């Protein structure tokens, strides 16, 4: 068999290699879950990670409380070129299974809006649960281990690392994606996929703030820190969640959700008054001759209303006489409030993105076992795959479910 190498071999002083049934690259959410599952199946499992500590993303996620799953999960909550791919693993390991696991360990948790479950105390409690499961299952975890070379010969994978040479029959790539390089995120998983001839779908930042240039950046900067409950639409998907003005543009859950569907050069559309019959209310204002500004302040913060009326004066009047505005103008103004169309200049990039869209093409792996179809013994799980969840615990649930499905198949 040919020797596949993704880097040139460094001088290796180790003459002997250590064999394990299964080696998992990445001690993150999916890797630890997979490791414990395979360990309980009686497999000798070694997890290798170059970071100083396991599961750095769990530790900081959800503002330190980790939104670890959601009560309402379906394939609709995921973006993947094959929309059916996630169904098998998610149905075999639903959120109720993960909740059962954390309850067994006595984790205190709480349900917040839109079915999101968070740790009540610290996200590190969840890491402890995963580490305990790995200990009970006899899994070894080796951190500060840099992978230098990978080769495949005679049915065995050989990894040359900063901690020695390791061999295994089954190699699981759980090394995550490109978001948050400061937490040791790398594209190693994509390199390994390409090394073995697997297709990788182009990546881009997801669940990420959107940046604006020129006058809109200045305008949003002036409102920085202000949040609004609105509906945001991008690429045909709408989300009724809050947005936040920042110095560089827009953020907040509604924007992060929409960013997954936004493409460069396309607009986002914000409905500032969702669930309101805006035109009917404007007609009523006209009848009463009431103040547009006061009406807007019933639904939006005063700072926003002041700015809005400067940006979009009705009939060019900052304080229009409502009684004299035509119905057509009112309809047009209502449309403006409900379809505020904005053109972001860019996203805030991988450094600020919670996830990475794209990744290893799911057509290349089995949806049951996660083994590569054209490379026996090589598996890909978690975020390295072309599977991205919405905001709300969906990405961790994918990590748990793909980790368990793969672990059972090893």
Residues that bind ligand FDA (CB under 6 A): 25-31, 49-51, 56-57, 60-62, 66-67, 147, 174-176, 179-180, 184-186, 188, 354-355, 382-384, 393-396, 399
- For the bound state, the minimum distance from the C-beta of residue 394 to ligand FDA, rounded and expressed in Å, comes to 6
- For the bound state, the minimum distance from the C-beta of residue 195 to ligand FDA, rounded and expressed in Å, comes to 13
Q: Are 118 and 68 in contact (CB under 8 A)?
A: yes
Nearest to 69 by CA among 37, 93, 39: 93
What is the secondary structure of 24-53 as a DSSP string? Answer: EE--SHHHHHHHHHHHHTT--EEEE-SSSS
Q: Which residue is nearest to ligand FDA (CB)?
A: 28
Nearest to 376 by CA among 198, 144, 230, 216: 198
- For the bound state, the minimum distance from the C-beta of residue 15 to ligand FDA, rounded and expressed in Å, comes to 23
For residue 199, give Cα distances in angstroms to 80, 155, 173, 202, 341. 14, 22, 15, 9, 36
- For the bound state, the minimum distance from the C-beta of residue 41 to ligand FDA, rounded and expressed in Å, comes to 19
Measured from the CB atom, is 182 or 215 closer to ligand FDA? 182
Measured from the CB atom, is 66 or 268 closer to ligand FDA? 66
Q: Which residue has the tokens 């994978």?
A: 157
Measured from the CB atom, is 208 or 292 closer to ligand FDA? 208
The residue ranges of DSSP E strands in 215-354, in sequence order, are 227-234, 237-245, 249-251, 268-271, 340-342, 346-347
- For the bound state, the minimum distance from the C-beta of residue 335 to ligand FDA, rounded and expressed in Å, comes to 36
- For the bound state, the minimum distance from the C-beta of residue 62 to ligand FDA, rounded and expressed in Å, comes to 4
- For the bound state, the minimum distance from the C-beta of residue 204 to ligand FDA, rounded and expressed in Å, comes to 15
For the beta carbon of residue 179, count every other beta carbon within 10 angstroms: 23
Measured from the CB atom, is 67 or 203 closer to ligand FDA? 67
Q: Are 353 and 347 in contact (CB under 8 A)?
A: yes
Measured from the CB atom, is 144 or 302 closer to ligand FDA? 144
Measured from the CB atom, is 300 or 410 closer to ligand FDA? 410
- For the bound state, the minimum distance from the C-beta of residue 218 to ligand FDA, rounded and expressed in Å, comes to 28
Measured from the CB atom, is 127 or 278 closer to ligand FDA? 127
Nearest to 22 by CA among 141, 195, 133, 136: 141
- For the bound state, the minimum distance from the C-beta of residue 287 to ligand FDA, rounded and expressed in Å, comes to 48
Task: Output the CA torsion sign for 370, 60, 192, 48.
Answer: negative
Measured from the CB atom, is 336 or 367 closer to ligand FDA? 367
Whole-angstrom Cα distance, residue 373 to residue 41? 23
Whole-angstrom Cα distance, residue 307 to residue 172? 53
Whole-angstrom Cα distance, residue 410 to residue 405? 9
Measured from the CB atom, is 375 or 395 closer to ligand FDA? 395
Q: Quick one: the chain helix, strand, coil %, rounded to 5?
A: 35, 25, 35
């Amino acid at each position: 068999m040919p020797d596949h190498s993704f880097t040139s071999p460094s001088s290796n002083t180790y003459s002997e290699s250590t064999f394990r049934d299964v080696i998992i690259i990445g001690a993150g959410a999916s890797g630890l879950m997979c490791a414990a599952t395979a360990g309980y199946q009686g497999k000798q499992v070694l997890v290798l990670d170059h970071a100083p500590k396991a599961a750095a993303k769990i530790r900081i996620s959800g503002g330190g409380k980790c939104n670890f799953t959601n009560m309402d999960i379906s394939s609709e909550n995921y973006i993947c070129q094959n929309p059916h791919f996630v169904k098998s693993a998610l149905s075999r390991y639903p959120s109720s299974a993960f909740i059962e696991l954390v309850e067994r360990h006595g984790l205190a948790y709480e349900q917040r809006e839109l079915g999101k479950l968070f740790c009540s105390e610290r996200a590190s409690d969840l890491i402890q649960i995963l580490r305990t499961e790995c200990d009970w299952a006899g899994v070894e975890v080796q951190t500060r281990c840099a992978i230098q070379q990978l080769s495949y010969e005679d049915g065995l994978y050989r990894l040359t690392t900063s901690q020695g040479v390791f061999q295994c029959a089954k190699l699981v790539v759980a090394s995550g994606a490109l978001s948050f390089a400061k937490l040791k995120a790398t594209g190693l998983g994509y390199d390994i996929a390409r090394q073995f001839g697997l297709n990788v779908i182009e990546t881009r930042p997801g669940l990420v703030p959107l940046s604006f240039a020129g006058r809109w950046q200045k305008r949003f900067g002036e409102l920085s820190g202000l949040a609004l409950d609105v509906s945001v639409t991008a690429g045909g998907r709408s989300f009724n969640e809050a947005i936040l003005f920042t110095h560089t543009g827009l953020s907040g859950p509604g924007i992060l959700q929409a960013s997954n569907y936004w493409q460069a050069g396309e607009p986002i559309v914000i409905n500032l008054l969702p669930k309101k019959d805006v035109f009917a209310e404007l007609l009523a204002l006209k009848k009463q001759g009431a103040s547009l500004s006061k009406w807007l302040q019933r639904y939006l913060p005063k700072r926003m209303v002041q700015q809005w009326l400067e940006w979009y004066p009705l009939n060019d009047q900052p304080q229009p006489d409502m009684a004299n505005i035509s119905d057509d103008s009112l309809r047009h103004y209502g449309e403006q409030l409900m379809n505020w169309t904005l053109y972001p200049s860019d996203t805030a990039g991988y450094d600020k993105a919670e996830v990475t869209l794209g990744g290893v093409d799911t057509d290349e792996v089995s949806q049951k076992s996660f083994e590569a179809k054209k490379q026996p013994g090589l598996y890909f799980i978690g975020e390295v795959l072309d599977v991205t969840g919405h905001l709300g615990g969906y990405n961790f649930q994918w990590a748990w479910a793909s980790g368990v499905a793969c672990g059972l198949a090893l």
